[in-house]
Amino acid sequence: QVQLVESGGAIVQPGRSLRLSCAASGFTFSDYGMHWVRQAPGKGLEWVAQISYDGIKTSYVDSVKGRITVSRDVSKKALFLQMNGLRVEDTAVYYCARESLVEVPSGDYHYYMDVWGKGTTVTVSS
């Protein structure tokens, strides 16, 4: 079945680095764009980053630009999130999500996140 499994979450001190992974199975990983979405304790969802199906295009929320990098390894069917210079406000559950798309009447595409993992917890604290 289609599945995403995150790993790599940990308790780290401010300023340190961490690399999250997301293992994909049950679908052709190289056909899909992927996202990272986070949720701070007791808060709502916040989109973090996106990478295109071919790994060429990436985009980030402003608050993580320059500190966080999303990447993918098609051979390993894996998505990564390299987080440097971690801050207390980066504390959250991090979800990876698959991106699907549908063509809309204008001829453009509408993108949506149709499969989510269970998340991995990152705690940044001194």
Partner 1 sequence: YDLTQPPSVSVSPGQTASISCSGHKLGDKYVCWYQQKPGQSPVLVLYQDNKRPSGIPERFSGSNSADTATLTISGAQAMDEADYYCQAWHSGTAVFGGGTKLTVL
- Do the Cβ atoms of 23 and 8 come closer than 8 Å? no
Q: Which of residues 18-57 bind partner 1 (CB under 8 A)?
A: 35, 37, 44-47, 50
> Distance of CA 58 to CAs 29, 30, 40, 68, 103, Å?
16, 15, 23, 11, 21
Among 68, 92, 95, 124, binds partner 1 (CB under 8 A): 95
Among 54, 73, 89, 114, binds partner 1 (CB under 8 A): 114
Q: Which of residues 55-94 bind partner 1 (CB under 8 A)?
A: 59-61
The torsion angles phi and psi of 62, rounded to 5 degrees, stand at: -55, -35
DSSP-derived letter for residue 90 is G
By the criterion CB under 8 A, which residues form the site for partner 1?
Answer: 35, 37, 44-47, 50, 59-61, 95, 97, 102, 104, 110-114, 116-119
